[in-house]
A and B are shown apart, each in its own frame.
Chain A
Amino acid sequence: MSRKRLGVVVEGAFNAGLTARLDPGSCTEDLRIGDFVTIEGERNLYFSMISDIALRSTSPGLVADPPRGMSPFIADTLSGTNTYATVEVRPMLMMGKADDHTFVEDITPPETVRTIPMHFSTLCEASELDFHIVFGREDASHFAVGTPLTMETPICLDLNRLVERSNGIFGQTGTGKSFLVRLLLCGIIKSGLAVNLIFDMHDEYAFGKESEDKQWVKGLRHLFGSRILIYSLEEAAAARAGRSVDVTLKIGLNQFEPEDVLLLAEELNLRATAEPTIGLLQDQYKERWLQKLLEMSPDEIALFCESRGAHPATMGALQRNLKRIARRPYVLKEAPFSVIDDMVAALDQGKHVILHFGRQDTTLDHMLVANIVTRRVRQLYRRKVERYEQTQKPADKPKPLVITIEEAHKFLSPAISRQTIFGTIARELRKYHVTLMVVDQRPGGIDTEILSQLGTRITGKLTDERDIEGVLMGVANRTFLRNALNSLNTRQQILITGHAVPMPIVLRTRPYDEVFYKDMGSSDLTPEGVKKDLTDLFGSRPE
């Protein structure tokens, strides 16, 4: 294995990282914060990241009085002797050194670093093989999400590990977040390791869309056809050309629980007295409380208040405010849960569901629908898991479900995260085989407790201090990752850290283009792929 030499390790500590002096021939401009480098120790290889680059000089005189006139001869003489550069390197993983005759398959996987190399160990650029050893090669469960900034080697995410925990995808507007989410969703869908329930709040994923480069890109429906089911809140969406919707979702007033409404206290202008009043209503009418409340005439309200001890003015205000819900076009007086139950059945068959909000894209819509649907889905998953625990039959094992929510700070803000179903899912981890993919541009607005539970974080450029702090919540080596995060470009560059990658890495995301479409679709044309599609479509034939 020959790697390009960059310098030698000259000092360091396990806690603080290593300092390597760059060779006179190596230029700082060839290195970037967050670059993946390898240190060749005597017995081990240390896979490391560059956390800082510094310019140094041997004497203070040079700093105070740099050479006049910039003679190339003098500059050339001083560089590498009196002026030099050092890089701070943080070892992340280590692995026993293999000789040239060892097969790649025989190399033991790298482990967490527990020691540091001695003085004068060489610092090298990571080779393609190093990337493969650490991040794995693309296969059924490893999905290439991008390439290092200076190389063309695909870097893979371990999808098994990705879907095992809740994840976060963060980045300012315009950093390519939604493309990244598409990439990941495609990866998960193609691998079949989990099923997706996607709350498509801004009409991003289901159908084709014009990218910021003015290119039309395909939606998931185009890429995966019948493997994607689209539920929409508006019938009109189905009528638009090229947008076929499978199911129109309706929500019944009977499906609302007091929490759904109370979460929206601010949005619906509810007072603190709303909660006890709703409690009284629920005591009386059970799950039909909302429907009943909205139907009440002033006399009935007075009667109810008298018999139940509620305050008439509060009741009146509550009724007025909650009427906004009933006015939403997708809300019916009564709707069966069967639509959502069918959705879960489809997920069981390995279908992926996109819930398309269409024009119903106010916060009120997002919160109402996402909460009600997710609560039901989780309820069903919980039953399934309980059943599986009873029977312990592999056939009963529910397929892991990844729920993608955008604008996550609305659902997971510190004020309400304890009440929303999303907060619960994020906290209980994968107990019920349901995890979240949290997509947000303001991670600072998300409850820190939730942030610290996230397994894998994929982050584009962030500038707000609070957001950066939020993303790095509960991550080791924060200072150094902060540097890497600050050095990201606005577009197409991401930092991945956490459960699905062995070590943090800065990447250029892979383009979402024809080549990618082909990668995603090609397997479907193999006999196995076609067979699998048929099974997906019609269910498996009993043996």
Chain B
Amino acid sequence: MKIGEIIATETTSLVAESYTLNHPPALGSLVWASDESGRTIYAIVCHVTTGGIDPSRRPIRRSTENTSDAGVYREHPELVHTLRTEFRALLVGWSDGDRITQSLPSQPPLLHYTVHTCSEKQVRAFTEESYYLRLLLNGGEPVPPEQLIVANLRETYLCRGRDDAWLRAAAKQIARLLKDDYERLMTILYAIDPRS
């Protein structure tokens, strides 16, 4: 499903604007875009912002005594045109057909190309391996990497139909990556423990 358009791109990440205001993809979810040659480039949503189109004009308070929350948008239909939702996603892999490679693509996706959410099948295929978690550990500013990983693991776990075996394998991978950083590791493990 189409979800946004790329408005900034670089070697490690892309920034896209959501087609619908306030409807960005979930934090940690897998999205894809294609490049010129038709390769699929996978990315994981790491940050979302919603703000005014004109950076020089900050949004102001619109609610009154009688109007608040969704009512504000109903009273001010122009808001959907003056506000926008952007999301950033870290590039984590690419595929040229059958094989998925979990590393940075040689070229970032192109500006103004479409960003799609991944289907369950795509998520399953991509997360068969969990090397991509290494890329998440070193990016995602200003979101702490461990929170990003937690978000990704939860999204994927649910998407894979509460696949416990997969979660255990992924947790092992994280444990190996964070073997020298017990505190960060435990933050992740407590958060993804399916029993908690």
The interface of chain A, by Cβ under 8 A from chain B, is 58-62, 65, 67, 71-74, 76-78, 80-82
B10 → chain A, closest Cβ, in Å? 33
Contacts of B195 in A (CB 8 A): 71-73
**Which of B168, B172, B181: most chain A Cβ within 10 A?**
B172
Contacts of A77 in B (CB 8 A): 168, 171-172, 174-175, 189
Give the size of the chain B interface in residues (CB under 8 angstroms): 20
**18 pairs of residues in contact across A and B, judged by CB atoms under 8 Å:** A58-B179, A58-B180, A59-B179, A59-B181, A60-B182, A65-B182, A71-B195, A72-B195, A73-B189, A73-B195, A74-B189, A74-B190, A74-B193, A77-B168, A77-B175, A77-B189, A82-B175, A82-B179
Q: Is the CB of A73 within 8 A of B186?
A: no
Contacts of B190 in A (CB 8 A): 74
A72 → chain B, closest Cβ, in Å? 8
Provide the bound-state CA to CA distance between A381 and B196, in Å. 82
Contacts of A62 in B (CB 8 A): 182
B21 → chain A, closest Cβ, in Å? 38
B144 → chain A, closest Cβ, in Å? 18
Q: Is the CB of A73 within 8 A of B171?
A: yes
Q: Is the CB of A76 within 8 A of B181?
A: no
Residue-wise, chain B 154-190 has the 8 Å CB interface mask toward A (1 for contact) of: 0000000000000110011011100111110110011
> Within B119-167, which residues are at the interface with A (CB < 8 Å)?
167
Provide the bound-state CA to CA distance between A65 and B183, in Å. 10
Provide the bound-state CA to CA distance between A4 and B45, in Å. 45
A83 → chain B, closest Cβ, in Å? 9
Given contacts A77-B172, A77-B189, contact A71 B179 (CB under 8 A): no
Contacts of A60 in B (CB 8 A): 182
Contacts of A61 in B (CB 8 A): 182-183
B194 is an interface residue with CB less than 8 A from chain A:
yes
Q: Is the CB of B176 within 8 A of A81?
A: yes
Provide the bound-state CA to CA distance between A320 and B190, in Å. 87
A76 → chain B, closest Cβ, in Å? 6
Nearest-neighbor residue (CB-CB) of B180 within chain A: A59
Contacts of B181 in A (CB 8 A): 59
Contacts of A67 in B (CB 8 A): 186, 189
B126 → chain A, closest Cβ, in Å? 22
A8 → chain B, closest Cβ, in Å? 15
Contacts of B196 in A (CB 8 A): 71
Q: Is the CB of B168 within 8 A of A73?
A: yes
Which 9 A-B residue pairings sit nearest by Cβ, starting from the closest?
A: A61-B182, A81-B175, A58-B179, A77-B171, A59-B182, A73-B193, A74-B189, A62-B182, A81-B176
Nearest-neighbor residue (CB-CB) of A77 within chain B: B171
A210 → chain B, closest Cβ, in Å? 56
Contacts of A59 in B (CB 8 A): 179-182
B29 → chain A, closest Cβ, in Å? 23
A136 → chain B, closest Cβ, in Å? 44
Given contacts A67-B186, A73-B171, A73-B189, could you give 13 more A-B pairs where the C-beta distance is less than 8 Å? A59-B181, A60-B182, A67-B189, A71-B195, A72-B195, A73-B194, A77-B175, A80-B172, A81-B172, A81-B175, A81-B176, A81-B179, A82-B182
**Which of A58, A62, A72, A80: most chain B Cβ within 10 A?**
A58
B40 → chain A, closest Cβ, in Å? 31
Nearest-neighbor residue (CB-CB) of A72 within chain B: B195
Contacts of B171 in A (CB 8 A): 73, 77
Contacts of A72 in B (CB 8 A): 195
Contacts of B193 in A (CB 8 A): 71, 73-74
**Which of B174, B179, B195: most chain A Cβ within 10 A?**
B179
Provide the bound-state CA to CA distance between A62 and B189, in Å. 13
Provide the bound-state CA to CA distance between A76 and B195, in Å. 13
Provide the bound-state CA to CA distance between A441 and B180, in Å. 51
Contacts of B176 in A (CB 8 A): 81
Contacts of A73 in B (CB 8 A): 167-168, 171, 189, 193-195
Nearest-neighbor residue (CB-CB) of A80 within chain B: B172
Provide the bound-state CA to CA distance between A194 and B179, in Å. 61
Given contacts A71-B196, A73-B189, A73-B195, contact A78 B175 (CB under 8 A): yes
A20 → chain B, closest Cβ, in Å? 19
Nearest-neighbor residue (CB-CB) of A65 within chain B: B182
Provide the bound-state CA to CA distance between A245 and B128, in Å. 81
Provide the bound-state CA to CA distance between A371 and B156, in Å. 85
Contacts of A65 in B (CB 8 A): 182
Provide the bound-state CA to CA distance between A323 and B24, in Å. 112
Provide the bound-state CA to CA distance between A399 and B179, in Å. 66
**Which of B171, B175, B195: most chain A Cβ within 10 A?**
B175
B51 → chain A, closest Cβ, in Å? 39
Nearest-neighbor residue (CB-CB) of A81 within chain B: B175
Contacts of A80 in B (CB 8 A): 172
B176 → chain A, closest Cβ, in Å? 5
Nearest-neighbor residue (CB-CB) of B190 within chain A: A74
Nearest-neighbor residue (CB-CB) of A64 within chain B: B182
A78 → chain B, closest Cβ, in Å? 6
Contacts of A74 in B (CB 8 A): 186, 189-190, 193
**Which of A60, A65, A77: most chain B Cβ within 10 A?**
A77
Provide the bound-state CA to CA distance between A455 and B128, in Å. 60
A441 → chain B, closest Cβ, in Å? 50
Provide the bound-state CA to CA distance between A65 and B195, in Å. 21
Residue-wise, chain B 96-119 has the 8 Å CB interface mask toward A (1 for contact) of: 000000000000000000000000
Nearest-neighbor residue (CB-CB) of B188 within chain A: A77
A71 → chain B, closest Cβ, in Å? 5
Contacts of B182 in A (CB 8 A): 59-62, 65, 82
B171 → chain A, closest Cβ, in Å? 4
Contacts of B167 in A (CB 8 A): 73
Contacts of A78 in B (CB 8 A): 175, 189
Nearest-neighbor residue (CB-CB) of B192 within chain A: A73
Contacts of A76 in B (CB 8 A): 168
Provide the bound-state CA to CA distance between A71 and B191, in Å. 12
**Which of A58, A60, A73: most chain B Cβ within 10 A?**
A73
Provide the bound-state CA to CA distance between A388 and B167, in Å. 80
Provide the bound-state CA to CA distance between A397 and B194, in Å. 80
Provide the bound-state CA to CA distance between A67 and B193, in Å. 12
Provide the bound-state CA to CA distance between A67 and B190, in Å. 9
Nearest-neighbor residue (CB-CB) of A68 within chain B: B190
Provide the bound-state CA to CA distance between A472 and B189, in Å. 49
B169 → chain A, closest Cβ, in Å? 10
Contacts of A58 in B (CB 8 A): 179-180
Nearest-neighbor residue (CB-CB) of B167 within chain A: A73
